Amino acid sequence: MQGTVDGFSYGLVTPVVAYLMACLGGALGLRCTTRSLLVANSWRMGWLALGSAAIGSGIWTMHFIAMMGFSVEGVPIRYDPLTTFASLGVAILMVGIGVLIVGYKGATGASLFTGGTITGLGVASMHYLGMAGMRLHGTISYSTVTVVASVVIAMAAATAALWAAVQVRGIGWSIGASLVMGLAVSGMHYMAMAGVSVHPHADTAGSPGGDSAAGILGPMLIGPLGFLLLAGVVVMFDPMLVTGRPDWRDARAAQDRIGTPAPAVTRLRRPLRGPAQRTPQDW
């Protein structure tokens, strides 16, 4: 017997909020990636680490907000806390590897392909590990076609988002890249969920082990959302992140790495003075 699966128990509320969370994490993370290309080596790792954590937190939060709308008729669903939070670590780790590759190698074809592939696989791994943490009286099965399609969507969109982020052309590019990243995570999630089938067991007495979706949502929001708020504060207090205009010294240091010319620097000329007023520095 196959249970009736509903992925939109609360209508459009959960997919819209989930998409916005993925975009928020993507916007902060990709903007930090852009910023890392414009600073000296001593600061680059810090910006890339902050960006990786922001993207990972955003996609993890997106997944479980979307799962709040997932239900199976007559079958209670619980979540194993350890597996659920392990998926957060996997997301940050694999996204971090992909972002570091692009951050240190620049916008080359090989680095974008490698970084985008690893980032996309990180999104997919987080999703299926999170699904593995579900506890219910039934058997979950997946369609091979939708699994493959979901992974391809994640890799392709993540690559496109990283490409847009490293163009270093102002905040507009980062906003566009975050929308693409949000689409990557959301599209991958709902494509994967479209192929989910649940076969309830004959004996469904009692409640499966683990925490309910509502019970696990509280700590999920306190941690990752608090971090996203902190990352947003860091981003907003750095004018270069908003304007996209780097300091000329950092930009020259990054020129060879990202393959774009450093901004021209024009020395301000001193006001003309009379001969008696001129100093040796004016000559």
Q: DSSP letters of 91-124?
A: HHHHHHHHHHHHHHH-S-HHHHHHHHHHHHHHHH
pLDDT tens column, 96-118: 898 888 888 877 888 899 999 99
For the segment 48-53, the average pLDDT, to the nearest whole number, is 86
Given pLDDT bands bounded at 50, 70 and 90, which one contains residue 256? low
Q: Is the pLDDT assigned to residue 45 strictly greater than 50?
A: yes
State residue 38's pLDDT score: 73
State residue 85's pLDDT score: 86
State residue 189's pLDDT score: 92
State residue 152's pLDDT score: 93
For the segment 59-63, the average pLDDT, to the nearest whole number, is 88
For the segment 49-71, the average pLDDT, to the nearest whole number, is 87
Q: Determine the structural domain holding residue 64 and report its residue range.
A: 5-282
State residue 221's pLDDT score: 62
Q: What is the DSSP letter of 75?
A: B
Higher pLDDT, 132 or 172: 132
Cα 167 from Cα 107, distance rounded (Å): 8
Q: Is the pLDDT assigned to residue 259 strictly greater than 60?
A: no
> What is the tally of structural domains in the chain?
1
Q: Which residues pair with 141 in a beta bridge?
A: 197
CB 201 within 8 A of CB 154: no
pTM more than 0.85: no
Q: Is the pLDDT assigned to residue 95 strictly greater than 70?
A: yes
For the segment 249-278, the average pLDDT, to the nearest whole number, is 46
